[in-house]
Structure 1
């Protein structure tokens, strides 16, 4: 088996297998492409490495701009703590390239057979282990190993494969443990600079189709690559975006989604011959503004399944599965999902064509995987997870499904035994596994975005209207790393900010104080989806949800307490009550929402606040504001009665608005960019401030009492397509 050596670079430990750099017990995640460049420099340490050498060894001879290479080198220098003008690690050789000048030693000696090979993703092999001897290794072991890695590197090497991701116990509807599987190999297929998505192999395995865009671009195009030669052709479609390609059973056609910014949407088909695109024809129109689908051909090659919505409504409705002939006739609706959630948004046909596996969004951040027998019409609920799955894929024999679990790893679900087993074991997340008619699986490796927290003064409207994201007078890049830094929340006085970061490999709660120090304050024993994070008014507690379970986190003690709410169906939103002893919970009961005031100690319902209410918040002066699921506008409780106070008011999520110090702040999307609306809750005067940021995420803001606003900015990252070789 091919393994990855670790290197000691000066006082830093470089771990290509996990894409990490360890220094003084601190761990930093590194982009896969940046790690590949660093390994190339390590292999040629002390020797000049030209840009042509980088292109050949890292990008396999592909066309990459100088700016892309400069970005990677700059990123490496930043993560190594290097200085381009006075380098200690990477030195620039003008008109030549780069040279690694730091002292290098191997942490572990390797054999000739273990030599680094770019074709195989680092850490993609998982050793066979005796399932009976596997215990549930808790998250604490993972943290201890990393925090003290500089003290016992040899112990780290021998135990990391056991400690990392061994078993994770899901909350709520995910009670299963996914033990490690063996003999799984990941092989990188694309080496492009940019992002590839929705990949699929042709039936003969000779071609790979995918949608692709350059970093910074908004439009997607479909490419088709011959696997052996790596030559790529791109589809010339007159519309702005194309995606979700699907090969016909004989490989002679490719169906795909085509849409543009005006709202037009089509399911198209293009002829294929000798690795080239031919004539394009339209199978059917899809609902206006549809920008995602899922397509699977029937084995006859004369019709296909796809995802669409009801065209009779001009607003978003639940997604459904339809079938249609490739000439546009015989359109039939196959599924009728619940009215809550987004419906059936992904599907996959079994290799024998007898079953459809589909992913159904239920109860908001929860998805259900369902099996439909096309012969009998019988439905079977398989399992539910507390994340939004992109896809599911079939194994060759049709006995199992492969999906991305909450841990970010690929997991295999056996349909007969209803058992889950982990397939992959690497630091980088793997998303969107897709199988062809033969059960050959490809997926996407990496995160689409890294996220940062920015700080700005909302009271500076005149300057904000004129400034840019690079002007520190208007804003400040406040919290950042190479991973995700998200859901920032400030306390009332603005003395500290809590946020979610995966910089140590898994999502944890971090705290940043005014002195600039950033510390991890949580140490969860399971991998969690952390939502709805907010400070209590006194700044001593944090409220949030782990998956769908409300919790209180005591900031000074670093302790967590779960709130067991009595007689509830589903909690999908929480905020603080009038004081730190109560919370507001949005309860869902078969699609009907209500806002209830809950005691944090007993979990008992203190008061029903608003039937039909969806999101609600108490202001710092004790007034309650809320929105309704079925009615627009901003509402307020006045002497126990509901009063509409702002007619034209919509919010994007529970964290995209805030009420503090006499003002209501709300993030509003206007034609692709964001405004920060500030409403005086006494006079209802509204001021709209255009936010000058590219990539602003509209799901989260936090505001302190002086009007300082924290927003989340996303930056695109390189992602590639990999193939999954499994048993």
Structure 2
């Protein structure tokens, strides 16, 4: 390929020399080297089939990579180009891939800010006819293009400016392997493992010299191993008899540990939050949760005296302070907190003054951060599978490298070397089950995360759901055997909580914490509320004209009514965290802040009923419960229950050992998506030239 030539393909201009894409709106996108090389390869073949063998040979240099790695790379390329699956770059099943759009060489300068791509091909500007004003305009455009390209090329510090990284798997047990903790001498690897979808995690230790494994505790659930600075003690958490316990074992001799010893309690719920112990083996830090309706907070215990201190006091009825990491000098704690508005924040706490400083916010679930050895920055894995370094002094994020697939937990070994829990945490598929039976039917099976299924009709079968099968999360429609993408978002958004109007014409849903409406008949989607206000639990009013949702008012969750045409928000009641409707009986049910059970709210006019229903259960944000024709369905501890609210019967188990991520009822079926534990492994990610 001639790098001095640019290429016009579909509605884009590709410049191989700078690895940039110019889009019709004037924006410039800098491609990662691998994506630019893949695109150049397809242009070289000009519509011919590019087989998997060619891709492996030309792009991966015949290194052994799985097919899903190739698929992920092409999906990310499509996302960078703004193309949908099956558009311009298509997959010919079991054969390879083909670029099907026309490719035209562009030899003249390309001014995408002012001229449409097709006009660039059809027109030639004569130099003699250009006036001074046009020269000035052209010069200005060139300047804008140059500045924009320099911004994309350098300000984000993209991965192609650093060394190449190698990936070396170091665990291989079937199931999920994550949260690595390497002993200080590099001899032992402790990690958390689950071998099946029940998520009964176990702490395991591997002797790296001979690949021998063992479990350190007989408890049915244990997690979050962390070595002491001298490598003689392994700390972890275990759950049994309805209590979370912080424990330790001593390394007696090679691959031999003492009996587990209880240090303290970490609350009343299973915990996968990290532990940290300072270099003097004096203070141990952990997260604590007292009850389902309480947030996690950070505590520490003095290992010499047994003295305990509470360090944080979150007020949200959500995750709270769920993750932590201690700086190498033991003076600063990095704290991850996730609030009920679906906003995550990373704070640093000075352990001497207890002063907290916000580092940055995020809208995806970040599992952990880990400090650099010099203690001036820390590393994490973002939602696009980049290892990112955050500098505490400059507040600058630098992308170090992009992993070949989504990964979760990270440990810094040394400069340029990391241990990573490699692979997607979960995958999810769609199912339906006839009420009153035990037969479950799988509706969608894919390598993508399909969730939030919302039935429209039973015959013919129609339902909507959320999937990332086109690269980004979008809403899809299944219509009696065919699939159609309904939304076309251009950036990564968390789409969730779909709710269908009673007349089956519109969906209300959240993107992150913003309310949106999708008109199914016109296939038009629009944002209703602003990004500044956070909402959850949106549903249609039984009149199908307005939307009910909960939002924060003066730091109190409140019930609001939203007019879709104007976005006007009217606050109805304070202290409400979620709402569900039973329009067949003209009733509404709400959950209240920090209160167990649900409460009847008839016609939105009466006061909330004082006596709770299902008073033994906590319903929080409203994602795991609904009411249909006087029957409440809810999930608690991986069990789906149903109960007739009118007859006041006891809850009946409907499905057990199911990890639901949303469900809906359309008689005679219940529709749901279930998270399935994804196989993953721990890998060492090392920059070329670094010490291995």
- State the TM-score, normalized to the length of structure 2: 0.74
Q: 1:115 deviation in Å?
A: 3.4
Larger Cα-atom Rg? 2
Q: 1:394 aligns with which of 371, 378, 382?
A: 371
Q: 1:408 deviation in Å?
A: 4.3
Q: In the alignment, what sits opposite 1:166?
A: none
C-alpha contact (below 8 Å) 1:211/1:245 kept by paired residues: yes
C-alpha contact (below 8 Å) 1:666/1:678 kept by paired residues: no
Write out aligned runs for 1:602-617 (5 A).
602-605=566-569, 607-617=570-580
Q: 2:466 aligns with which of 500, 525, 532?
A: 500
C-alpha contact (below 8 Å) 1:322/1:334 kept by paired residues: yes
C-alpha contact (below 8 Å) 1:448/1:717 kept by paired residues: yes
Q: 1:429 aligns with which of 406, 422, 441?
A: 406
Q: 1:221 aligns with which of 197, 202, 225?
A: 202
Q: 1:389 deviation in Å?
A: 1.9
Separation (CA, whole Å) in 2 of partners of 1:358 and 1:454: 37
Write out aligned runs for 1:659-698 (5 A).
659-660=627-628, 662-669=629-636, 672-679=638-645, 683-684=646-647, 686=649, 690-692=653-655, 694-697=657-660
Q: In the alignment, what sits opposite 1:264?
A: 243
Q: In the alignment, what sits opposite 2:625?
A: 657
Q: 1:596 deviation in Å?
A: 1.0
Q: 1:637 deviation in Å?
A: 3.0
Deviating beyond 6 angstroms after TM superposition, the runs of 4 or more aligned structure 1 residues are 123-126, 153-156
Is the alpha carbon distance of 1:143 and 1:611 closer, same or farther for their aligned partners in structure 2, counting shifts above 3 Å?
farther
Q: In the alignment, what sits opposite 1:597?
A: 561
The answer as to 2:62 corresponding to 1:115 is: yes
Separation (CA, whole Å) in 2 of partners of 1:190 and 1:108: 27
Q: 1:392 deviation in Å?
A: 1.0
Q: In the alignment, what sits opposite 1:470?
A: none
State the secondary structure of the residue aligned to 1:300: coil
Q: 1:113 deviation in Å?
A: 9.6
C-alpha contact (below 8 Å) 1:488/1:499 kept by paired residues: yes
The answer as to 2:226 corresponding to 1:246 is: yes
Q: 1:364 deviation in Å?
A: 4.3
Q: 2:662 aligns with which of 671, 693, 700?
A: 700
C-alpha contact (below 8 Å) 2:643/2:649 kept by paired residues: yes
C-alpha contact (below 8 Å) 1:387/1:406 kept by paired residues: yes
| Deviation by residue 1:34-54 (Cα, 9 ceiling, x = unmatched) | xxxxxxxxxxxxxxxxxxxxx
- The number of residues matched between the two structures is 571
Q: In the alignment, what sits opposite 2:264?
A: 284
Q: In the alignment, what sits opposite 1:719?
A: 680
State the secondary structure of the residue aligned to 1:642: coil
The answer as to 2:334 corresponding to 1:370 is: no
Is the alpha carbon distance of 1:228 and 1:534 closer, same or farther for their aligned partners in structure 2, counting shifts above 3 Å?
same
Separation (CA, whole Å) in 2 of partners of 1:579 and 1:421: 50
Write out aligned runs for 1:68-83 (5 A).
none
| Deviation by residue 1:587-636 (Cα, 9 ceiling, x = unmatched) | 1135411111111121112x433222221234445543323224433221
C-alpha contact (below 8 Å) 1:492/1:537 kept by paired residues: no
| Deviation by residue 1:74-96 (Cα, 9 ceiling, x = unmatched) | xxxxxxxxxxxxxxxxxxxxxxx
Q: 1:142 deviation in Å?
A: 7.7
Is the alpha carbon distance of 1:303 and 1:637 closer, same or farther for their aligned partners in structure 2, counting shifts above 3 Å?
same
The answer as to 2:546 corresponding to 1:582 is: yes
Is the alpha carbon distance of 1:454 and 1:432 closer, same or farther for their aligned partners in structure 2, counting shifts above 3 Å?
same
The answer as to 2:386 corresponding to 1:420 is: no
Gaps of at least 5 residues in structure 1 are 1-102, 127-133, 157-175, 468-473
Q: In the alignment, what sits opposite 1:106?
A: 53
What's the RMSD between the two structures over aligned residues? 3.7
C-alpha contact (below 8 Å) 1:268/1:283 kept by paired residues: yes
| Deviation by residue 1:544-598 (Cα, 9 ceiling, x = unmatched) | 11111111123344432101259x7432331112444421120113541111111
| Deviation by residue 1:384-429 (Cα, 9 ceiling, x = unmatched) | 1112321112233333322232334433322223233334434521
State the secondary structure of the residue aligned to 2:229: coil
Separation (CA, whole Å) in 2 of partners of 1:499 and 1:342: 26
Q: 1:694 deviation in Å?
A: 4.0
Is the alpha carbon distance of 1:609 and 1:142 closer, same or farther for their aligned partners in structure 2, counting shifts above 3 Å?
same
Q: 1:351 deviation in Å?
A: 2.7
Write out aligned runs for 1:396-475 (5 A).
396-426=373-403, 428-435=405-412, 441-458=418-435, 461=436, 464=437, 467=438, 474-475=439-440
Q: Which moved more, 1:551-560 or 1:716-725?
A: 551-560
Q: Which moved more, 1:365-374 or 1:214-223?
A: 214-223
The answer as to 2:490 corresponding to 1:525 is: yes
Write out aligned runs for 1:42-191 (5 A).
106-108=53-55, 110=57, 114-117=61-64, 137=80, 139-140=82-83, 144=87, 146-147=89-90, 150-152=97-99, 179-180=158-159, 182=162, 183-191=164-172
C-alpha contact (below 8 Å) 2:223/2:238 kept by paired residues: yes
The answer as to 2:539 corresponding to 1:571 is: no
Is the alpha carbon distance of 1:109 and 1:400 closer, same or farther for their aligned partners in structure 2, counting shifts above 3 Å?
same
State the secondary structure of the residue aligned to 1:526: coil
Gaps of at least 5 residues in structure 2 are 1-49, 104-154
Separation (CA, whole Å) in 1 of partners of 2:206 and 2:270: 27
Is the alpha carbon distance of 1:332 and 1:124 closer, same or farther for their aligned partners in structure 2, counting shifts above 3 Å?
farther
Q: In the alignment, what sits opposite 2:106?
A: none
C-alpha contact (below 8 Å) 1:382/1:415 kept by paired residues: yes
Separation (CA, whole Å) in 1 of partners of 2:391 and 2:425: 29
C-alpha contact (below 8 Å) 1:371/1:382 kept by paired residues: yes
C-alpha contact (below 8 Å) 2:326/2:334 kept by paired residues: yes
Q: 1:714 deviation in Å?
A: 3.2
Is the alpha carbon distance of 1:304 and 1:644 closer, same or farther for their aligned partners in structure 2, counting shifts above 3 Å?
same
Is the alpha carbon distance of 1:145 and 1:444 closer, same or farther for their aligned partners in structure 2, counting shifts above 3 Å?
farther
- State the TM-score, normalized to the length of structure 1: 0.70
State the secondary structure of the residue aligned to 2:83: helix
